[in-house]
C-alpha cells in the first residue's frame, strides 16, 4: 500500500502527500539519485539539512557491490547508509539501456536523452559491444567490475529489492532507446508487460514489510503504444506508476508522451517520471501531473563546477570562469544554503581549480538546496492556484 493524499490541484498539477513506512513525501518532489546508497559527495546529515525527502538507489549496482545479502545482514539499506527517510529502488531496467543498446547505438549514457534537439546530443562514434543480453525469461548482465555474469529475472529483482528494504520498489522493465523503431519498441513494451505481471505475482508471494510496488509504463514516443501501456499497467493493481523508456527525440516529444500517458493513469495514485530533473523540465512535467522525478543532474553538474543560479543562462554558473577569480559574493545572495552562507565564488573557484574534493561537496549542497527551494515554491504555487505565474516568473527571467 502507498497512501497518497492530493491536497490541491492547479489544472493538471497536483500538490500532495505520499505516505511511506519511513515518513511522508510532500509532492511534487525532486528525488536525488544515490545509485550505490549515497548521493555523490554528500553525507546523510548533509541531505537532512538540505531538506531532501527521499533518495532513489539502484538495484543493479547494489547487487554487484556490495550485494543484497550483505546489505540485508547490516539491517537493510536504510540502516546501512544511515538514512531514516523514504527510499526508492530502481530495478536495473535503465541498465538494460545504458549497458546494452546505448552501446550498440553509440548513445552516451550521460548525454541528453533527446538525440535530435538542436544537435545537443553527442552520439558516440566509438560504439562498443553491449554488456547485456535480453531474453524473454530474463536479462543477462556482464559485470562492468569483473566480467562476471549475472541473470536478472522479474522475480529475482523483486526479491533483491525486498532484501534491500526500500519503501518504494520498481519492477524490472526494458528501457528502450530513442533510436529504436516501432516494431522493437512494441516488442519491448509487451515484454515489459509480461515481466510486470511476473513481478507483481512474486511481490504478493512474500511479506513486503510495508513496501509499495510501482509498475512502469513504456512504449517510446509512439502514441498508441504509450496509451496501451498506460492502460495495461493501470489495470494491474500497482501501488503507483513510473513512466520510463525513451521520451522521444526532443523535449516537445516528452511533453506529448506525458499528455498521452498521464490522463490514462489512476488519479488517486502517484506518478514518477524516471530520469528528468533540469529546471525547465521540472515546470513542464509538474504541470502535466507528475508527482515525483529523479535525475543525476544537480550532483553531476556539481562535479564539473556548474552551479545552479537564477542569474545565469539556463540557470547554470560555471564557477571556474576567470570572471569569478576575485568575486567576493556567494553563488546567490538570497540563498540560505550552507555554501552560500559561508563561502564566496572566488573561494569555490579556487577549490575547483586546485581539484579539492571539498569543492564538489559545496557545489552539490548548493545545487540540491536550489532545487529543494524550487520545489517548495512549486508546491506553494499549486496550492494557491498560481503555478502558471510562478513558471513565467522563473522561465522569463533568465
Marked catalytic residue, from 181, 253, 294, 326: 294
Edge-to-edge order in the sheet of strand 212-217: 29-32, 292-295, 271-274, 240-243, 212-217, 168-170, 87-90, 55-58
Using an 8 Å Cβ cutoff, are 284 and 276 in contact? no
Count of beta carbons in the 10 Å neighbourhood of residue 384: 13
**Nearest to residue 99, comparing CAs of 63, 138, 133?**
133
Query: Which residue intervals of 242-344 are DSSP H helices?
Result: 251-261, 279-286, 297-303, 338-342
Handedness of CA 64, 68, 74, 75 (dihedral sign): positive
Which grid cell is 95?
Answer: 541498465
> What is the distance between the alpha carbons of residues 393 and 388, in angstroms, rounded to a whole number?
9
Dist. CA 292–CA 14, nearest whole Å = 11
Q: How many CB atoms are closer than 10 A to CB 137?
A: 12
342-31-58-93 Cα dihedral, nearest 10 degrees: -140
Annotated catalytic residue 294? yes
| Given 10, 90, 167, 281, the catalytic residue | 90
CB atoms within 10 A of CB 396: 7
Query: Which of 122, 113, 123, 124 minimizes the C-alpha distance to 250?
Result: 113
Strands 292-295 and 29-32: parallel
Gap between the Cα atoms of 257 and 231, Å rounded = 14
Residue 321 and residue 89: Cα distance in Å, rounded? 37
Of the candidates 181, 9, 166, which has an alpha carbon nearest to the alpha carbon of residue 85? 166
Catalogue the active-site residues.
Answer: 90, 294
Amino acid at each position: 500500500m502507498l497512501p497518497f493524499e492530493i491536497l490541491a490541484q492547479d489544472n493538471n498539477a497536483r500538490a500532495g502527500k505520499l505516505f511511506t513506512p519511513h515518513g511522508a513525501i510532500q509532492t511534487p518532489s525532486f528525488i536525488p539519485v544515490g545509485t550505490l546508497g549515497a548521493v555523490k559527495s554528500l553525507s546523510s546529515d548533509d541531505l537532512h539539512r538540505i531538506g531532501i525527502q527521499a533518495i532513489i538507489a539502484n538495484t543493479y549496482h547494489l547487487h554487484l557491490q556490495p550485494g543484497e545479502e550483505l546489505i540485508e545482514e547490516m539491517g537493510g539499506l536504510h540502516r546501512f547508509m544511515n538514512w531514516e527517510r523514504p527510499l526508492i529502488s530502481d530495478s536495473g531496467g535503465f541498465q538494460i539501456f545504458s549497458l546494452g543498446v546505448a552501446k550498440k547505438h553509440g548513445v552516451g549514457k550521460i548525454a541528453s536523452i533527446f538525440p535530435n534537439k538542436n544537435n545537443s546530443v553527442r552520439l558516440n562514434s566509438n560504439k562498443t559491444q553491449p554488456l547485456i543480453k535480453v531474453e524473454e525469461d530474463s536479462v543477462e548482465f556482464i559485470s562492468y567490475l569483473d566480467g562476471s555474469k549475472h541473470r536478472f529475472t522479474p522475480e529475482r529483482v523483486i526479491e533483491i529489492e525486498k532484501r534491500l528494504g526500500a519503501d518504494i520498489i520498481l519492477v524490472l522493465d526494458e528501457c528502450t532507446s530513442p533510436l529504436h523503431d516501432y516494431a522493437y519498441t512494441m516488442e519491448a513494451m509487451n515484454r515489459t508487460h509480461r515481466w510486470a505481471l511476473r513481478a507483481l505475482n512474486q511481490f504478493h508471494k512474500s511479506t513486503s514489510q510495508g513496501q509499495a510496488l510501482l509498475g512502469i509504463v513504456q512504449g517510446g514516443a509512439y502514441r498508441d503504444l504509450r496509451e496501451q501501456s498506460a492502460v495495461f499497467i493501470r489495470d494491474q493493481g500497482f501501488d503507483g506508476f513510473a513512466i520510463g523508456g525513451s521520451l522521444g527525440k526532443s523535449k516537445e516529444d516528452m511533453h506529448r508522451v506525458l499528455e498521452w500517458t498521464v490522463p490514462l493513469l489512476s488519479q488517486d495514485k502517484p506518478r514518477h517520471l524516471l530520469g528528468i530533473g533540469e529546471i525547465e523540465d521540472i515546470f513542464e512535467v509538474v504541470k502535466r501531473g507528475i508527482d515525483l522525478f529523479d535525475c543525476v543532474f544537480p550532483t553531476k553538474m556539481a562535479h564539473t563546477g556548474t552551479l545552479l543560479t537564477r542569474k545565469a543562462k539556463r540557470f547554470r554558473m560555471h564557477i571556474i570562469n576567470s570572471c569569478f577569480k576575485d568575486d567576493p559574493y556567494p553563488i546567490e545572495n538570497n540563498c540560505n544554503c550552507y555554501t552560500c552562507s559561508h563561502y564566496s565564488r572566488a573561494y569555490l573557484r579556487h577549490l575547483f581549480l586546485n581539484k579539492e574534493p571539498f569543492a564538489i561537496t559545496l557545489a552539490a549542497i548548493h545545487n540540491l538546496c536550489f532545487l529543494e527551494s524550487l520545489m517548495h515554491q512549486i508546491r506553494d504555487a499549486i496550492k494557491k492556484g498560481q503555478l502558471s505565474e510562478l513558471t513565467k516568473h522563473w522561465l522569463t527571467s533568465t
